[in-house]
Amino acid sequence: MREDLLLEHSTAGLVVLPGAAGTTQEIFQMSTRMYYEKDGPLPPMILVGKEHWNEKLPVWPLLHALGAGRPMGQALHLVDSIDEVPDLIAATP
């Protein structure tokens, strides 16, 4: 319930650093909301750590596939460095 409440209030975006099971759960809780969202712009979901999210825990390929052709796809980002995050959040309408 705590995670659901936090994700509900993440209106400026969600930045995800490398993690494990709990972090993956939060990613998919948020992605479920984003997948079914029909009204309004979606906040960005930014995963930090290309190697981690593509190879160690290959969450990114699944997220990318889920977002294909949907508004969710435009809100998903994968970056290598936390330094790339502020520009992505600032570019969100």
Split at pLDDT 50, 70, 90, the class of 3 is low
pTM: 0.89
In three-state secondary structure terms, 55 is helix
Q: Are 53 and 28 in contact (CB under 8 A)?
A: no
Split at pLDDT 50, 70, 90, the class of 72 is very high
Sheet containing 45-48: give its strands across: 14-16, 45-48, 76-79
First-residue to last-residue Cα distance in the chain: 28
Residue-wise pLDDT for 13-62, tens only, equals 899 999 999 999 999 989 998 999 877 788 999 999 999 999 999 999 99
